[in-house]
Structure 1
Amino acid sequence: MLWIALVDRIGSGLWASVSVLYFTYVTGLSVAQIGTLVAAAGAVGIAGAPLGGRIADCLPLTHVLIALQLLRALASCALLTTDNYALLLTFSAAGSFGDRAANVLTKLYATRVAGPDRVRYQAVNRTVANAGWALGGLVSAAALTIGSTAVYPWLLAGDALSFAAVALATARCGEPPSASRTITTSKDSALPVRAVSPWRDRTYLAYVATETVLFLDDAVFKIGLPLWIAHSDHAPHGLAPLLMVLNNVMVVTLQVPLARFGATTAEARALLIPLSAAFALGGVAMALSATGGAVTATLFLTAAATAFTVAEMLHATVSWELSAALAPGTAQGAYLGVHGLAAAVQRSLGPLAVTAAIAVGPLGWTAFGAIVSVTCAFQHRIVRDRLSGPTLSVPTVTVSEH
């Protein structure tokens, strides 16, 4: 699965940096149309996480993943065939649905295969994915130096090809054991077992709600830092891409070493305390970046980027473990699907949160860090009672012979 993650993210890196340019210069969409298209596609993508997880509890996981990767490939290819706005919106929404569902099911695959080592497995997977994203972005940047719009369709085609390659590679992966299905050797290949519903689990839903807030580090790097720097009177505008590079380098080099501090469920919950401090420090550093000249702004913005990157890595470790540990083995797909809603919803609400902090000013960033920090403490309290019982790890699959 690590090679699959690398190829997948290389393709995504090719397309992510030119998607707006493609819709602007190739299909001729206006700014308002592009904004609506992205928002609508993102809204449809939200449904991909819970639906994909539910389906994966009933059907072979690898088969569902292959279908989703082919959907992403076809959606990307379809974008090349038209400049009709309704069709572009439809194809983008289909691709977004497949993307969010595939992300959740890739995590589910790792959970089922790695078992107790799922945190380390996910850390390695995330490191490889970040390296792939950076490689795809570098190829895209090199292609853009040509200065011709003719290169945009080729980058989109490369994105589609990566999904097709991932589907072929997934077909060679073995089906992981699942407690939600009873594998038999009779003509009834799989008999589903009764599973609980995450939608009736108030503790898990409350946990997912707090996760939506903790995923805001994504919006900080994609929207918050670049906009704050762009509207700063002192910060060098060229600092924004350098801080993105810093973020990527830190994740690639430190994610795996940090993962060992959250190898067990109890250790993962304990990491919520330093995670709370990292978010608070990031908010304060952002606020202090507005208090001096260029050197002061650069130093505090670098400190903020470092703090938020540490928060990103700590939260990834905590989230990987707790999202699976809080889920019963017979419904891990459904539960992880609901957990996937947190990241999907954050993609819509995150930009609003960070732009609100920017609009308020330094005090807004201080409040932003404080709110996320308090949410960490709240999550620490929410999961305490559930985790005081037996750890909900991946159970052994039942095999019956007739």
Structure 2
Amino acid sequence: MSRPTPRHRTVLDRIPGGRDGRRMLVVSIIDKTGTGLWAGCTALYFTYVSGLGLGQVGLLMTISGGVGLAGAPIAGRLADRFPVVRLIVATQLLRGAALLALLTTDHYLLLTLYSALGALPDRAGSVLIKLYAARLAGPDRVRYQAIQRTTVNIGWSIGGLGAAAALATGSVDAYTYLLVGNVLSYAVIAALTLRCAEPPAPARVVTTSTDASADACADASADACADAVRDRPANPWRDRVFLGYTATDAALFLDDTILQVAVPLWIVHATDAPVGLVPLLLVLNTVLVVLFQVPLARFGATTPAARRLLVPLAGLFAAGTLGLAVSATGGPVLATCALIAAVIALTFAEIIHATASWELSVALAPAEAQGSYLGFHGLAQSGQRFAGPLLVTGVMAAGPLAWPVLGLALVGAAATQHRLLRDHVTPAAPAPAPAADPSLSVPTVTVSEK
């Protein structure tokens, strides 16, 4: 009698979070496919369909980006009070409604209003998905985030190819079809998200930094001070360590703007490299992220390991910005080789920083204020997207030598963050506490008091 063969785990079985984790990955890839359809032609839609001038388009996108900054902290605060799945669905439907409203008018003020209203749930949705993944995947959150980033890049690629095919027709109606396609993607992912179970939130624990409670303890008795610390929940706006961490992380997120904005413009305006290199370098970036995001995630699977990643991250920023400077000093061959090297270095910087930032931002967030902390940290990426283009274009205007200067500034940001977190990534000695509910998928994180 033959013995039954053991069941081998498939690739899908190894995805953290089980069925809901896999379902949310499907949501992410559909979401980014729809976004890829629309993102590349947003400015062109306002130009050719709505009839706006270049200055009007620039101002509209700047205003909407500024308003969108508030989306992350608002989402974080709400996530500490309401079910995160329902909030994700709400943001998806609001994004679709705001986008669909663009079809109803060509009036500049209304277009600006609808764009700004769409930016709020767009930034909020990113934080909520991150929070959902952290609660669902628990200790495997770094691996799950790496898989999610891979699916996101695949979705962007599919959407970008679809947009390129549609725009190749030369029809103005193609822009409207791409917008509607993105709206439909929001409807689909909202329906899929409703099928996801609400992940258990972390147990509420009292975690208050010394800085956050200093004012409450001033001129008070020992008993009154202890009561104030016990009753006041942690607040990222009063946590000096988290404020410093978020500020330095905002600088480290510049890899995105350098790759997506600066490199194409630098190729065209400052080097002898062929213009056709631009899409090839973007494809190279996407392929490297898809191939290496998951394998490299294991190097940041713990909080101390994530902090150690800041060292090679600094070196990659220095190498990437130096490559951009060198690309403007020679002919087409030198420029092409230097640009390829720069994009490879900056892409690995993107991969490593994504892993480190994910783990550190979650680990530094107290359990009872996890949403508020992650929402506040969302300002780092949103702020970089808002101010980053202005910064990198200023660097380009200053000439090739400005790139190494920017690289040194990014090295300084990484070093500052590394030093700042030195006493905040080592697990503290366990203190007596009520037994944790074993059903929780996210372990309680201890944050050092400072």
1:147 and 2:147 correspond:
no
Instruction: Give the match for residue 394 of structure 1.
Output: 442
User: Aligned equivalents of 2:233 and 2:107: distance in 1?
Assistant: 43
**Is the CA contact (8 Å cut-off) linking 2:139 and 2:443 kept in structure 1?**
no
* Residue in structure 2 matching 1:178, options 201, 211, 230: 201
Separation in 2 of the partners of 1:319 and 1:281?
Answer: 20
1:114–1:124: structure 2 CA closer, same or farther, 3 Å change rule? same
Match of 2:211 in 1: none
- SS at 2:270's partner residue? coil
Distance between the aligned counterparts of 1:194 and 1:218, measured in 2?
37
2:260 aligned residue: 222
User: What stretches of structure 2 of length at least 5 have no aligned partner?
Assistant: 1-23, 206-230, 431-440, 445-450
Question: What residue number does 1:361 align with?
Answer: 399
| Cα contact 1:57–1:180 (8 A) shared by 2 | no
Answer yes or no: is 1:99 the counterpart of 2:141. no
The match for 2:376 among 338, 343, 349 is 338
User: What amino acid is the match of 2:288?
Assistant: M
Task: Give how far 1:181 is off.
Answer: 6.9
Verify: 1:204 aligned to 2:204, yes or no.
no
TM-score by length of 1: 0.93
For residues 348-401 of structure 1, the C-alpha deviation after alignment (integer angstroms, 9 at most, x for no partner) is: 2111221122112221011111110111011001111122343999336xxxxx
> How much does 1:287 deviate?
1.1
Query: Residues 282-310 of structure 1, C-alpha deviation per residue, up to 9 Å, x if partnerless?
Result: 01111111222110110001000000000
1:67 match: 90
Tell me if structure 2 keeps the 8 A contact 1:66–1:171: yes
Q: Which residue of 2 aligns with 1:379?
A: 417
**Partner secondary structure for residue 394 of structure 1:** coil
Q: Which residue of 2 aligns with 1:187?
A: none
Q: Say whether the 8 Å CA contact 1:356–1:364 is kept in structure 2.
A: no
In structure 2, distance between residues paired with 1:133 and 1:375? 29
Asked if the contact 2:326–2:400 (Cα under 8 Å) also holds between the matched residues in 1, the reply is: yes
Structure 1 counterpart of 2:405, one-letter code: A
Instruction: Supply the AA of the counterpart residue of 1:12.
Output: T
> Does residue 137 of the first structure (1) align with residue 185 of the second (2)?
no
State the structure with more CA Rg. Answer: 2
> 1:179, 1:113 → 2: CA distance?
10
Say whether 1:118 aligns with 2:141.
Answer: yes
Within-5 A mapping of 1:247-262:
247-262=285-300
Assess if the C-alpha contact under 8 Å between 1:180 and 1:195 holds in 2: no
Whether the 8 Å contact between 1:15 and 1:156 is mirrored in structure 2 is: yes
Q: Is the 8 A contact 1:180 1:329 kept in 2?
A: yes
Matched residue, 2:60? 37
SS in 2 for 1:173: coil
Give the structure 2 partner of residue 84 of structure 1: 107
Q: Give 1:233 shift.
A: 4.5
Cα 1:194–1:171 change in 2 (3 A) is farther
Alignment match of 1:274 (pick from 300, 303, 312): 312
Which residue of 185, 195, 204 maps to 1:162?
185
Aligned residue pair count: 387
Q: Is 1:321 the equivalent of 2:359?
A: yes
Q: Give me the whole-angstrom Cα distance separating, in 2, the residues matched to 1:146 and 1:122.
A: 37
Q: Which residue does the alignment assign to 1:309? A: 347
Is residue 15 of structure 1 aligned with residue 38 of structure 2?
A: yes
Query: Are the aligned partners of 1:180 and 1:331 in contact in 2 as well (CA < 8 Å)?
Result: no
Cα separation, 2, equivalents of 1:274 and 1:229: 26
CA distance in 1, matches of 2:232, 2:118: 31
Matched with 1:186 is: none
Aligned AA (1:207): Y
* Preserved contact between residue 58 and residue 180 of structure 1 (Cα < 8 Å): no
Task: Give 1:395's aligned amino acid.
Answer: P
1:235 maps to what in 2? 273
* Structure 1 counterpart of 2:219: none
Shift of 1:180: 6.4
Label 1:220 to 1:59 Cα distance change in 2 as closer, same or farther (>3 A): same
Change (3 A) 1:391 1:341: farther
Is residue 65–residue 102 contact of structure 1 (8 Å, CA) maintained in 2? yes
How far residue 40 of structure 1 moved from its aligned partner, in angstroms, is 0.5
Q: Determine if contact 1:259/1:317 at 8 Å carries over to the other structure.
A: yes
Match of 1:400 in 2: none
What displacement does 1:136 show?
Answer: 0.4
Q: Contact between 1:215 and 1:346, CA under 8 Å: does it hold in 2?
A: yes
Distance of aligned partners of 1:134 and 1:248 in 2 relative to their CA distance in 1, 3 Å threshold: same
* Distance change >3 Å, CA 256–CA 233, structure 1 → 2: closer
Deviation at 1:174, TM superposition (A): 0.3
Q: Is the 1:17–1:137 Cα contact (8 Å) retained in structure 2?
A: yes
Please give the per-residue CA displacement for 1:295-341, whole angstroms capped at 9, x wherever unaligned: 01100010000000000000000000000001111111000000000
1:246 paired with 2:284, answer yes
Of residues 213, 218, 223 in structure 1, which corresponds to 2:251?
A: 213
Deviation of 1:27 (Å): 0.7
Say whether the 8 Å CA contact 1:57–1:181 is kept in structure 2. Answer: no
Letter in 2 for 1:337: G
| CA positional deviation for 1:227 | 1.1
